[in-house]
Amino acid sequence: MSSQGNALKPSPTINVSQWLNSSNFSSFHLLIFFLGLLTVTCDGYDLFVYGAAVPLLMRDFHISPAEAGALASMAPIGALVGALVFGPIADKFGRRNTLIITAILFNAGMGLSGLTHSPSTFGFWRVVTGLGVGGSMPNMVALATEYIPGRNRFVAIAGLLSGIQVGGIAAALLGMWSFPHYGWRGVFLFGLVPLVLIPAYAKYLPESPTYLVRKNRFEQLRASMRRARPGETVASDAALEVEQGKGKVPLAAILQEGRGYSTVVFWIMYFMNLYVIFAFTIWLPKLIMNQGYSLAKGLSFLLTLSIGSIAGSFLAGYIADRTSTRPTLVGCYVVSFCSVALVGYTSNFWLLMTLVTLAGAGFNGAQNTVNAYIAPYYPPSMRSTGVGMCYGLGRLGAIFGPPLIGILMSWHFSYRATVIAIALPAIIPAIGVLTVQERYGFSYKLTSQKKG
């Protein structure tokens, strides 16, 4: 798809995907990174705030661990629907507009959760929150992938997604301050605050190049291209084209042209790792309390988990950018399994702190790196759909993980057996990533074309 040049004189043609991919990291990319970081931080805050509040919710709502686990699955259920619905919507109507809508949904839903007085109403607003989370995360990753230079992509996406852990730190610290004075409601009401940032999204976030070309908004695209490579000129008569596949229906296309096997492997990898992340994160404070520690100590472990996750995300992204992604991911998944499993074999405070830090570095380093690994596997025209499907179907792991662990706790499974049940699925993605067929990926083909 391209703009129309002069019929009498051939116009120069610019491949926008390659132009953006070969740019140097600039203030424009930093702005995208910052706005994306804000989005992901809100998502992370929502994830961690439930785990921080679950002991108080169980007390105030008079619910069992199994019921608390079921409530924990409400947001992931919404996220599943949101990812499946908002991915295709963004591919058709633009990523920026979709991101604004989903940001309003998850922040409003989180805030209104704090005004509820029954488990059922609380669960409803958690589903609304999840709808926004499921729609925002894959679209933000897809948009950043389109604009951030290829040489910086892994570390930038990993850094952007470390916002999950920044949100976790905020949830733990706010919980430590709020719980003794205001109970659990205050930490949810705080979720309304980011709504004031919506105008900044509308003003500063660029739109997807694929969408702009499809809508013939070439001047807007040229402006974004000049911002991506300041000091360089984009000729006004240049024909602009984007790599976007063959125009097939996105939902069907992600499984075609050799991508089917790897796409299914991606779904399994997401499922297993999100199972571990959500089960461990949501139940960590309660598990620590069951070992005789206070709620404040439980929250300190949640804080440590977040800090370890940030370090792991940047380290994994850095290694993946400079070496190879697959060994990086395998290492992260193995660290995740070993450290989570070993939590069940000690009650020593400092050893637990070390293991929890490594666990966060392992499973969140893996998740943030795999997000950057998967997005460029798909052409831009179906990228939101491809990432959204991975994120949405992978969310089934987040849906099943917390309730399953809650049931095991209600059945009085031992502390060690419960922790092992959290850790075991981390082995599966470590094997799965080794079987991905990279030769069918869009980024591989694009690189091959440039070399050719």
What is the residue-level pLDDT of the chain in tens, covering all 452 positions?
Answer: 444 444 445 567 777 777 777 788 888 888 889 998 988 898 888 878 888 898 899 999 999 999 999 999 998 899 888 877 887 888 788 888 899 999 999 899 999 999 999 999 999 999 999 999 888 887 888 888 888 887 787 778 777 877 888 888 898 889 888 888 888 999 999 888 888 888 988 888 898 888 888 887 878 888 878 787 887 777 676 677 666 555 444 577 788 888 889 999 999 999 999 999 999 988 988 888 888 888 888 888 988 998 898 888 788 888 887 888 889 999 999 999 999 999 989 888 999 999 999 999 999 889 878 877 888 888 877 777 788 788 778 778 988 999 999 999 889 888 899 999 999 999 999 999 999 887 777 766 665 555 55
Q: How many CB atoms lie within 10 A of CB 74?
A: 23
Give the model's pLDDT for residue 450: 57
- Closest Cα to residue 444, out of 383, 376, 386? 376
Element (H, E) at 349: helix 349-374
Give the model's pLDDT for residue 149: 86
Give the model's pLDDT for residue 2: 45
User: For residues 338 and 322, what is the distance between their CA atoms, to the nearest angstrom?
Assistant: 25
In the chain the domains, ranked by start, together with CATH numbers, are 14-442 (1.20.1250.20)
Look at residue 171 and give its three-state secondary structure: helix
**CB distance 258 to 377 below 8 Å:** no
Give the model's pLDDT for residue 431: 94
**CB distance 78 to 131 below 8 Å:** yes
Residue 307 C-alpha from the chain's centroid: 17
Strand partners, 15: 241
Rounded to the nearest 10°, the torsion over CA 404, 406, 411, 412 is 120
Give the model's pLDDT for residue 3: 46
**CB distance 157 to 148 below 8 Å:** yes
Count Cβ atoms within 10 A of the Cβ of residue 282 and give its class: 0-12 exposed, 13-18 middle, 19 or more buried: buried
**CB distance 137 to 97 below 8 Å:** no
User: For residues 109 and 119, what is the distance between their CA atoms, to the nearest angstrom?
Assistant: 15
Q: Cα-flanking dihedrals φ and ψ of residue 241, to 5°?
A: -130, 150
User: For residues 324 and 122, what is the distance between their CA atoms, to the nearest angstrom?
Assistant: 44
* Structure tokens, 288: 């620590």
Name the one residue in this structure whose structure tokens are 């050893």: 351
Tell me the pTM. Answer: 0.76
Strand partners, 319: none
